Amino acid sequence: MEWEKEEFDVRSNDLAQIQRIIKDARNVVFFTGAGISKESGIPTFRDKDGLWKKYDPSKLASLSAFKSNPQLVWDFFYSRQRLVCGAQFNDGHKTIATLETREFESCWVITQNIDRLHQRAGSLNVIELHGNIFGLVCLQCEIEEQYDHQTFFENFNEERIPHCKNCSNILKPSVVLFEEPLPTLEWQKAITLSSNCDVMFVVGSSLNVSPANMLPYYALKNNATVIEINPNPTEMSRLMDFSIRSSASLVLPKIFDIP
């Protein structure tokens, strides 16, 4: 679905206020979810056309599903890898990437996304709470292999599911599946950044999944300004300082004056 430019917009007085706030900001965090990649053609999970509206996540994206039916889980991930390989980052990702070299003391992305489009847009300061779709891990010997959108399908394809070179066990995508904990270091770093930022943008997340959905509370507790960008309201919209009903790729360039 293409957003009509005039369909979504940020109210001019909100825009002016937000631009004043970010001018004085020192530590900025972008907490992102699937919505920021939607305009790159990657479906979200809980929109009307989202993945979990069509498929049962417990059968395709849980640890027990992987253990009982690795072929089905790999078929699901192979199709998502193919989609991500063919996707391009959008103006939302690109705007965030340009901000790392701005005058902020720190500018970090904490993402729930596994598509690495933030990195492909040029972001270096990225924390991946849910892993990434081009990594693989062996649950037996814990060996990890890392590829990217250009090399993954040079090494694997849908004919066969990946096996560990060390112990020949089936490899799992390095994605945090349901029933799995978040990676400890990434989670700790995410809490520290959220607790010390003075502005947090919450971009494209329904804030349905814990513990990631706790991060805006850490920012609010630190009296940060929290700005939500989402065409739809969320559980936390009423707690936000600003809740902009717009698409990330339309409004982020506007807020940061990116032509």
- Please give the positions annotated as active site: 130
Could you give the count of Cα atoms lying within 13 Å of 203 in the half-sphere of its Cβ? 27
| Residue whose C-alpha is closest to residue 161's, from 170, 148, 174 | 170
| Residue whose C-alpha is closest to residue 235's, from 259, 212, 254, 258 | 212
Which of 164, 175, 199, 212 binds Zn ion (CB under 5 A)? It is 164
Nearest-approach distance from CB 165 to Zn ion, in angstroms? 8
Number of neighbouring beta carbons within 10 Å of residue 243: 18
Q: Quick one: what does residue 140 bind among ligand APR, Zn ion, none, with the CB cut-off 5 to 8 Å set by partner type?
A: Zn ion
Q: Nearer to Zn ion by C-beta: 140 or 146?
A: 140
Q: Quick one: what does residue 206 bind among Zn ion, ligand APR, none, with the CB cut-off 5 to 8 Å set by partner type?
A: ligand APR
Q: Nearer to ligand APR by C-beta: 136 or 244?
A: 244
Q: Quick one: what does residue 225 bind among Zn ion, ligand APR, none, with the CB cut-off 5 to 8 Å set by partner type?
A: none
The residues of the shown chain that bind ligand APR, judged by CB under 6 A, are: 33-36, 38-39, 44-47, 50, 57, 112, 130, 203-206, 208-209, 229-232, 234, 247-248
Q: Quick one: what does residue 208 bind among Zn ion, ligand APR, none, with the CB cut-off 5 to 8 Å set by partner type?
A: ligand APR
| Residue whose C-alpha is closest to residue 60's, from 79, 86, 82, 34 | 79
- Among 6-14, 32-40, 160-168, 211-219, which window interacts with Zn ion (CB under 5 A)? 160-168
Q: Nearer to Zn ion by C-beta: 98 or 169?
A: 169
In single-letter form, the type of residue at position 221 comes to K
| Residue whose C-alpha is closest to residue 129's, from 55, 64, 210, 50 | 210
Alpha helices in 125-233 (DSSP H): 152-155, 184-196, 215-221
Q: Would you call 106 exposed, middle or buried from its count of C-beta atoms within 10 A (0-12, 13-18, 19+)?
A: middle
141 near Zn ion, judged by CB under 5 A:
yes
SS (H, E, C) 2-67: CCCCCCCCCCHHHHHHHHHHHHHCCEEEEEECHHHHHHHCCCCCCCCCCHHHHCCHHHHCEHHHHH
Q: Nearer to ligand APR by C-beta: 35 or 173?
A: 35
Q: How many residues bind Zn ion (CB under 5 A)?
A: 7
CA distance 167 to 141: 7
Looking at beta carbons, which residue is closest to ligand APR? 35
Q: Nearer to Zn ion by C-beta: 164 or 240?
A: 164
Q: Quick one: what does residue 164 bind among Zn ion, ligand APR, none, with the CB cut-off 5 to 8 Å set by partner type?
A: Zn ion
Which of 72, 124, 167, 258 binds Zn ion (CB under 5 A)? It is 167
Q: How would you label 28-52 residue by residue, b for 16+ Cβ within 10 Å and e otherwise?
A: bbbbbbbbbbbbbebbbbbbeebbb
169 near Zn ion, judged by CB under 5 A:
yes
In single-letter form, the type of residue at position 153 comes to F
Which of 29, 73, 127, 138 binds Zn ion (CB under 5 A)? It is 138
Residues in contact with Zn ion by the rule CB under 5 A: 138, 140-141, 164, 166-167, 169
